[in-house]
Amino acid sequence: MMTKDLLSPALQSVRTLLLLGIAAAMPAAVLTGAWADDDAPTQLDLSTVPGELVDDVVLPVPHEIFHALEKLGPQDWNSQIRPQSLETPPSRTRAALLFGLVLANGFIAVEAENRDEVRRIGRDVVRFSEALGVKQAVMEHAQSIIDAANDQEWQSVRRELDRTRETVLETMEKLRDDDLAHLVSLGGWLGGADILAALAGGSPAAVELLHQPDLVEQLTRSCRKMPPALRSEPVMREVERVLQELQPLLRKADGGGLPPADLQRVQNLTSELIRLIEETADNG
Amino acid sequence: MFTRLLSRSVALLTAACFLGLGTPCSAIVHDGRSYAIEAAIPELDRKENPFTLRHTWWHGELDPGKSRVIRHQLFKGNEYWFWAGCSEPSARIGIHIYDAEGKRVEAESWKRDHVAGARIVPSRTAAYLIRVTLHHSEDPPAEWAVVYGFR
């Protein structure tokens, strides 16, 4: 199990017993105590939705998207690995975006089952978390990523990457760094979208996975709520510009109907933005 | 009362064990979330093709008869379960999934007092609306949480 290295042997035994008991008991409980829930309206009055909407935007992890893509056939994940380690930028804005990209690269390396790359990313996680002031919180995750990569336990690496992301977001929110936490998520989403655009290759089923205009709209709205000083940074101005241009393009991906020229444009936009984030990192 | 306390302790301990909590970087402890994860365990523990639990979650407070809507991006090709849990064991909660046009689209849903679940196999890649409704609470407002998994 994923968490074995985090728990003492005694706790592991307790957990195992509990899990076995619960696993055995739950289906019966569900069968006897739960009932099909059909009394909700079959049609929602959409005019009531804005007043009920939860404000939090939860972005899909790259693995969630890659999982759907993988079902369409084997993908050349190795071709999408960015092998070079990036310099840690002094700017926390760039560090946050890069941290998200590093996590996205981690998911790609896992899909490629590339042990050395995952281990390198585990080390990058530590470096970038230090730049964000959350190193202590993610040290155990980073070690777990490296250990699981050594054992080639890919499912464990995926879960640990998701936990790393969540821990970083929670820690940053506790530190009242909500805006930077949002940028970590945004960086991860950008990395996933870039790979998706590169691998979609004109397959309508793959292209349809890019149909995320509402998500981009939520991202754009979140960026607009950020403090003016943050929004005025060149990299953030570019992030907002790219999101704005992406939204109508991604809307066309419904049903896989995005024309090849538009797909190319999506790929160019995401790749150029990633390059800019990385370059600004290199330039400090 | 003792049974309720015991049930609650087991739920919290089970969820904590499953999440690997108890470490310095543990997530926030929220009873509703623990109950939601407890409800998810059969799907996460399947021997074949288990669901992967996301460690991100939503939460808030609700009064009886009120609903909250989560707008969330889903991908065609994946299958999703959403589980809702309420911190108050005597509460009753429900969860359903709607498409962007407001049509209820879940493949199945169930509810059992303060926990509920809804499963969807999306026919389109798009943003969907996950609606949580509090049907009953003896001590409103009640804390709720939603977690989800995919495969």
Query: Is B118 within 8 Å of B44 (Cβ atoms)?
Result: no
Q: Dump the DSSP string for A163-205.
A: HHHHHHHHHHHHTT-HHHHHHHHHHHHHHHHHHHHHHHTT-HH
Least confident window among A130-139, A262-271, B101-110:
A130-139
Least confident window among A181-185, A199-203, A229-233, B47-51:
A199-203
Mean pLDDT of A227-234: 95
Q: What is the pLDDT of residue B101?
A: 95
Q: What is the pLDDT of residue A83?
A: 72
Q: Confidence class of residue B11 from pLDDT cuts 50, 70 and 90?
A: low
Q: What is the pLDDT of residue B73?
A: 96
The CA–CA distances, whole Å, from A37 to A40, A49, B101 equal 7, 21, 21
Does pLDDT of A15 surpass 60?
no
Tell whether A25 lies on the interface with B, counting CB pairs under 8 A: no
Q: What is the pLDDT of residue B3?
A: 46
- In the predicted model, what is the mean pLDDT of chain A? 86
Q: What is the pLDDT of residue B24?
A: 30
Query: Is B44 within 8 Å of B51 (Cβ atoms)?
Result: yes
Mean pLDDT of B106-126: 97
Smallest Cα–Cα separation from B71: which of B45, B49, B44, B102? B102
Q: CB-based contacts of A25: which residues, under 8 Å, 6+ apart?
A: none
Tell whether B72 lies on the interface with A, counting CB pairs under 8 A: yes
Q: To the nearest whole percent, how much of chain A has pLDDT over 90? A: 58
Mean pLDDT of A188-204: 91
Mean pLDDT of B23-43: 80
Nearest CA in chain B to A16: B17
Q: Which residues of A touch B109 (CB under 8 A)?
A: 36-38, 40
Mean pLDDT of A170-195: 91
Tell whether A68 lies on the interface with B, counting CB pairs under 8 A: yes
* Residue of A64, A65, A138 to mutate for B, most B C-beta atoms under 10 A: A64
Half-sphere CA count of A272, side-chain side, radius 13 A? 13
Q: What is the pLDDT of residue A280?
A: 61
Q: Confidence class of residue A245 from pLDDT cuts 50, 70 and 90?
A: very high
Tell whether A140 lies on the interface with B, counting CB pairs under 8 A: yes
Q: What is the pLDDT of residue A7?
A: 45
Q: What is the pLDDT of residue B39?
A: 97
Convert the pLDDT of each residue in A77-93 to its tens digit. 988 888 777 788 878 89
Convert the pLDDT of each residue in A32-67 to its tens digit. 467 777 678 999 999 999 999 997 788 888 889 989
- The distance from CA B122 to its chain's CA centroid, rounded to whole angstroms, is 18
